Structure 1
Amino acid sequence: MTNRALKRFLATAATTVMVASAIVPAASAATASFKDVSANYKDAVDFLVSKGANGLNATTFGIANDIKRVDAAVLLANVLGLDTKNVKDSGFTDVPLRAKGAVNALKAAGITSGKSSKLFGSDDKITRGEIAIWVQKGFNLTGESKHPFKDVNSRYEEAVRALFSHSITKGINASNFGVTNQVKRGDYAIFLYKAAQLDNGAFKLSIMHTNDTHAHLEMAAKRSTAIKEVRATKPDALLLDAGDVFSGTLFFNKFEGQADLEVMNYMKYDAMTFGNHEFDLGSSSEGHKALSEFVKNADFPFVSANVDFSKDSLFSTTYKGGTIADIDADVDGKIFDGVIKEVNGEKVGIFGLTTEETVTISSPGAVEFTNYIEEARKMVDAFEEKGINKIIAVTHLGFDDNVEFDNDLELATKVDGIDVIVGGHTHTTLTAPVLIKAGKEPTVIVQANEYSKYLGLLDVSFDENGVVSHYKGELIDLASKADDPAVLQILKPYSDEIEALQKESIGVNAVVDLDGERANVRTKETNLGNLITDGMLATAKTINNETVAAFTNGGGIRASIPAGDITLGDVLTTMPFGNTLGIMNLTGAEIKEALEHSVKMAPEQNGAFLQVSGLKFTYDSRKPVGQKVMTIEISDGNGNYVPINESSSYFVATNTFTAKGGDDFDVFKRVYEDGRVSEPGYVDYDMFVDYLKALPEVRPAVEGRITDVSASN
């Protein structure tokens, strides 16, 4: 029997043993005064009393009494340790003041939504089926063991399966769970006690994670503070990065990753995988010299099982492809397929994956990429052959990116044996971990947005066979943290240079004022809007020469640039968000829908108003919403404009904020979710500066790309 097969075969039995050993009855002072608490209930009742529970009176706990929903809510919130004070009001009108905090917290945590939008059902008796859902959601329980109960429908299936897998319940008899039966106070005490005891004897692992920081070092000192706070209570927590440290701010343009690296070394990262932007400099005269220096100077290892550096001589001393670094190996400043870390005496396998799309959206040069699914399966097998059954994939694939290339959801579905995926690339804000149960074992996916706005924290428990039994995750908002003085000191020489750089000329003079005034870019065509979208289109064409048009949201243009010498500070003030390029495959009908949304609130100053290139359209702001756009002409790629064909497809460039549905562009969101968006990742201000430098002179004009016919009548 293989290690993986043995792992699966023993999972349920091992959990049963673990739970049974955790609930050996013990005498207690708390239950001594309750005359109705037998030995079977002593530990459970003691546990609830320690969490603030009271009996029905001084001598009776009420073991055989039904429990109301409101009282069940209070007990569960107490056991889970939920914040019952700083939480949004649930809106329920039937919850007594004593329980409001608990009910609010349960709703905010997604554990219960009440009987209706206004009624919680406080005085209703709660059923075993409802309690099963509360306990499963509250403790984030997973379980795959089949149960024998005939009365469990689809609503309760997942919850009952989880409780049965962990021996929290045996049902009311051999064939019925008792979904509609009312819960007794004694049974509820045992449910909560057993669920809370599941971690006893389990291996607990904490993982801090970052991704897509993109040289946003203005948040680094706050990130360091948060890391230190976590380590104060969880000193063995791992710290992992899922790639794209490179590209995005002047810190990278000037220091090419070395400023970021000095901070990461100080923070003591455990491992990092490569993002596509780590390869952005590959086509430069020095090739991947900056990346090779980044790797060489790191006080941590790099992992990526599907990236082959062997044909690039710059990595000849650092690339250890095809190998897994053992615990005692010299790993700092080297690249492995995976590494083994020891945490509290347990071995944890960590491997990396990088999107194959890097070949088309960056400049990897001689660096080659292989299929992520195949390599992931090899890594799982390799770790399990070494007896390691706790496996983390650190990936730069994207949570839900175009499946034609790769994404984390597909990885979790297609590759069994990965316990945790720490992801990046799509800048997804996963405020809670996502659990995928497509295979024999569950996989937990996390991702922490972008630009070091958050530090992700995942706490996960494994049973003795390496199967995830419990998990809890959060994103720590770094904006609320104080700066770590040590990091500020590390960054000071870098920051001083950046401050001077912001005053530096880009070597281009604007012949005319570039109009980025809020009242204009959000209501009509402007020469700056034309200039920005022309640059976006020019860059997109170098990636996909079939790109014929470009859009950018007026809300992303934040200031004008006066005629004369243009500085980097001017550019960054105008385009401060660091948005990246996306190329959409749209039908003519979808373009029309997008333009209707663009002018929906015209002539109000709406940030969704699109500036355009490669396209001309007219609209009538007096007409009803959805009927404003009159004509649309699009470039044929040869300098001519032709009427748009609603059934034809067109490649259109935009920024990924808009492509993902920002500014309520639902049409673009659908296209993104349909996998019809490529994300080359070029940063907006970099594209703009490069385009300006290529022009013979900067003299953009308003050309009649956008015309409100009502203004001329």
Structure 2
Amino acid sequence: MSVKQSFKRLLASSLAVGLLSSQIATASYAAPQQETHKKKHHPRTFNLSLMHTNDTHAHLDNVAKRITAIKEVRAEKPDALLLDAGDVFSGTLYFNEFKGQADLEFMNLAGYDLMTFGNHEFDLGSSPEGHQALANFVKKADFPFVSSNVDFSEDANMKELTNKRIPIKAKDSNIYPAVIKRVNHERVGFIGLTTEETADIASPENVKFNNYIESAQKAVKSLERRGVNKIVAITHLGYDDNPQYDNDLELAKHVDGIDVIVGGHSHTTLAEPVIVDKDENDKQKDASTVIVQAYQYGDFLGTLDVQFNKKGQVIGQTGKLIEVKTKTDDPEATELLKKYSSKIEELKNTPTGGEAVNALENPRSSTDGPSVRSNETELGNLITDGMLDKAKELNPNVEIALQNGGGIRAPIDAGPITYGDVLTTLPFGNTLATMKLTGAEIKTALEHSVSQSPKESGGFLHVSGMKFTYDSTKAVGSRVVSMEVKNPDGSYTTIDTAKEYVIATNAFTAKGGDGFTVFKTAYEQGRVTDLGLSDWENLRDYVAKLKTVDPKVEGRIVDVAKK
């Protein structure tokens, strides 16, 4: 037994008495089968308990509560494994300042067992240091990494950390194509997959991403040759993300032998596990696959218990998400966080390099007065201009940007704009996404945007790269009068309802948030690409680029009934 395993069992034993009352949170789970004999035995069934996180994105303000949730589950189920499905990097000032090391200290404290890489782990590849920060993250991790489809062989920082063979026992601070762990005398195999889309939405540079289905099949076969018949895929593909690239649902259909998928990337809230029992031809699979995912930012700790028969087939499962905010702060983690959070408070006062000529108001009105949720505003124009500017850097075909008014939370005072100002205005960390829409679909979206006018709606869309007029006195669904897209020379052309346009918006809206069913349909059809750049970072970069920040209301959105 390793030192880490001994520590986990000792910690679990010491906590068990004091945490009996907390067992209510996970009472629906069957406890893992315990070893009752010293002699090796082969039970007819086997229970595997997992805890899982994904897309934490350097959100550490709630980490002390997350540690408590982990300790409570482990006190009840000492053999539960703790897994992370990637995207620890990028998203808050904790990452900007500490490059993953702050997150890693808490992951080591929590006793993570395995992690795979997300696309954001490759954000720094184009920097002068390349993937040095990622290499440092791996080197200092008290757990191994599993990555079946990422080729690090050409990267100077990462190649020495990778292993081509599956070891008898995986070492911490190493990357493997697959990992085998022993749990109660049974061998459980793990593979790891990262979306191939990383090449387009991050900066992997010399790192390559192989086909996820082919890589998964190869890794599964390697494990099966070793007699492993219980296999977990830790993935950063997205639950139902763009199938033109990859996603968990397609993985479950196409690859036999995967029993559980612990996913990330799409920030999906799977309150209960999803069972896939049909293959790519819609025929019944020999064995079903269980898929789980735990939203984002460490807001939830996912838990899953899976029961296998002696053939390694799933015969039962139960799982849920534990809401971290309901927990108390772990004292040790709370004290540890202080050395990082104190520095972050200082950083919030750091200037972005942009200076607002005038105060950028964020008005609200519950009737028909000026409101960020019912009217064009200077701040709304600034934010959408920043979105469009950033999206064009990655995709020159983007013509329009849209931002829901409900996502703009605070004004910005005149004078130097700080990191804190930007974070307060856009606090949700929504990522930037692009979407292909017809002109007719854009009109449908704009109709929904102004459906509550002149009253407020969180789905009221601020726009860049276009302008439109509407009549709030007309029937809902028939209010939009005109729509025009901005040309490179500054002129405008009427939007063609039959033509396809590439727009940028935040991922919340792109997935149908605020009731945008037209966007949800596009997302489900694979017409959305998440670029993975946080909204506050986009605004920060844009005001720094402008230096003098002086947006105006330009008549981008006009209610002709008020003329």
Q: Is TM (by shorter chain) over 0.5?
A: yes
Q: Does 1:255 align with 2:98?
A: yes
Corresponding position of 1:264 = 107
Amino acid at match of 2:323: D
Alignment of 1:290-439 (within 5 A): 290-320=133-163, 322-327=164-169, 329=170, 331-438=171-278, 439=285
Q: Does 1:636 align with 2:487?
A: yes
Q: Does 1:650 align with 2:501?
A: yes
- Which of residues 546, 551, 554 is equivalent to 1:700? 551
Q: Does 1:473 align with 2:293?
A: no
Alignment of 1:607-618 (within 5 A): 607-618=458-469
Give the distance between the partners of 1:220 and 1:386, measured in 2 at CA: 38
Deviation at 1:289, TM superposition (A): 1.1
- Which of residues 661, 671, 686 is equivalent to 2:537? 686
Q: Does 1:560 align with 2:411?
A: yes
Amino acid at match of 2:312: G
2:355–2:547 CA contact under 8 A, matched in 1 = no
Amino acid at match of 1:708: D
Corresponding position of 1:547 = 398
Give the distance between the partners of 2:267 and 2:52, measured in 1 at CA: 13
2:147–2:177 CA contact under 8 A, matched in 1 = yes
1:484-538 CA-partner distances (Å, limit 9, x unpaired) = 1111111110011011111222222111211222342111111111110011001
Per the alignment, do residues 384 and 574 of structure 1 end up closer, same or farther by CA in structure 2, a change over 3 Å counting?
same
Amino acid at match of 1:312: D
Give the distance between the partners of 1:453 and 1:680, measured in 2 at CA: 22
- Which of residues 675, 679, 684 is equivalent to 2:526? 675
Give the distance between the partners of 1:227 and 1:556, measured in 2 at CA: 31
Give the distance between the partners of 1:517 and 1:260, measured in 2 at CA: 37
Q: Does 1:496 align with 2:342?
A: yes
Deviation at 1:229, TM superposition (A): 0.7
Deviation at 1:218, TM superposition (A): 1.2
Give the distance between the partners of 2:257 and 2:336, measured in 1 at CA: 40
Q: Does 1:209 align with 2:52?
A: yes
Give the distance between the partners of 2:338 and 2:122, measured in 1 at CA: 27
Deviates more, 1:372-381 or 1:513-522: 513-522
Corresponding position of 1:81 = none
Corresponding position of 2:296 = 450
Superposition TM-score, scaled by structure 1 size:
0.71
Amino acid at match of 1:619: Y
Deviation at 1:200, TM superposition (A): 7.6
Q: Does 1:627 align with 2:469?
A: no
Structure 2, unaligned stretches of length 5 or more?
1-23, 31-41, 279-284, 366-370
Structure with more helix by fraction? 1
2:438–2:501 CA contact under 8 A, matched in 1 = yes
1:517–1:558 CA contact under 8 A, matched in 2 = no
1:532–1:688 CA contact under 8 A, matched in 2 = yes
Corresponding position of 1:228 = 71
Q: Tell me, what secondary structure is at the counterpart of 1:314?
A: coil
Deviation at 1:343, TM superposition (A): 0.5
1:611-633 CA-partner distances (Å, limit 9, x unpaired) = 00001000111111011110000
Give the distance between the partners of 2:177 and 2:167, measured in 1 at CA: 8
1:518–1:558 CA contact under 8 A, matched in 2 = no
Q: Tell me, what secondary structure is at the counterpart of 2:177?
A: strand
Per the alignment, do residues 513 and 211 of structure 1 end up closer, same or farther by CA in structure 2, a change over 3 Å counting?
same
Deviation at 1:283, TM superposition (A): 1.2
Corresponding position of 2:3 = none
Q: Tell me, what secondary structure is at the counterpart of 1:521?
A: coil
1:434-477 CA-partner distances (Å, limit 9, x unpaired) = 11112221110000001111000000011111111110011011
Per the alignment, do residues 200 and 385 of structure 1 end up closer, same or farther by CA in structure 2, a change over 3 Å counting?
closer
Give the distance between the partners of 1:495 and 1:290, measured in 2 at CA: 20
Give the distance between the partners of 2:152 and 2:44, measured in 1 at CA: 42
Deviation at 1:431, TM superposition (A): 0.6
Alignment of 1:72-83 (within 5 A): none
Deviation at 1:696, TM superposition (A): 4.7
Give the distance between the partners of 2:214 and 2:382, measured in 1 at CA: 44
Give the distance between the partners of 2:188 and 2:515, measured in 1 at CA: 42
Deviation at 1:317, TM superposition (A): 2.4
Give the distance between the partners of 1:316 and 1:529, measured in 2 at CA: 45
2:451–2:477 CA contact under 8 A, matched in 1 = yes
Q: Tell me, what secondary structure is at the counterpart of 1:437?
A: strand
2:56–2:87 CA contact under 8 A, matched in 1 = yes
1:548–1:637 CA contact under 8 A, matched in 2 = no
Give the distance between the partners of 1:511 and 1:206, measured in 2 at CA: 56
Q: Does 1:710 align with 2:561?
A: yes
- Which of residues 372, 375, 378 is equivalent to 1:527? 378
Q: Tell me, what secondary structure is at the counterpart of 1:548?
A: strand
Amino acid at match of 2:219: M
Q: Tell me, what secondary structure is at the counterpart of 1:442?
A: strand
1:647-685 CA-partner distances (Å, limit 9, x unpaired) = 100000000000001000111111111110011110001
Give the distance between the partners of 1:360 and 1:518, measured in 2 at CA: 38
Deviation at 1:638, TM superposition (A): 4.1
- Which of residues 510, 513, 522 is equivalent to 1:662? 513
2:354–2:545 CA contact under 8 A, matched in 1 = no
2:444–2:518 CA contact under 8 A, matched in 1 = yes
2:116–2:193 CA contact under 8 A, matched in 1 = yes
Give the distance between the partners of 1:664 and 1:499, measured in 2 at CA: 36
Give the distance between the partners of 2:97 and 2:430, measured in 1 at CA: 19
Amino acid at match of 1:404: Q
1:516–1:574 CA contact under 8 A, matched in 2 = no
Alignment of 1:106-185 (within 5 A): none
Deviates more, 1:631-640 or 1:389-398: 631-640
Q: Tell me, what secondary structure is at the counterpart of 1:445?
A: strand
1:135-178 CA-partner distances (Å, limit 9, x unpaired) = xxx99xxxxxxxxxxxxxxxxxxxxxxxxxxxxxxxxxxxxxxx
Percent identity over the alignment is 58
Deviation at 1:323, TM superposition (A): 2.1
Give the distance between the partners of 1:401 and 1:639, measured in 2 at CA: 35
Deviation at 1:325, TM superposition (A): 2.7
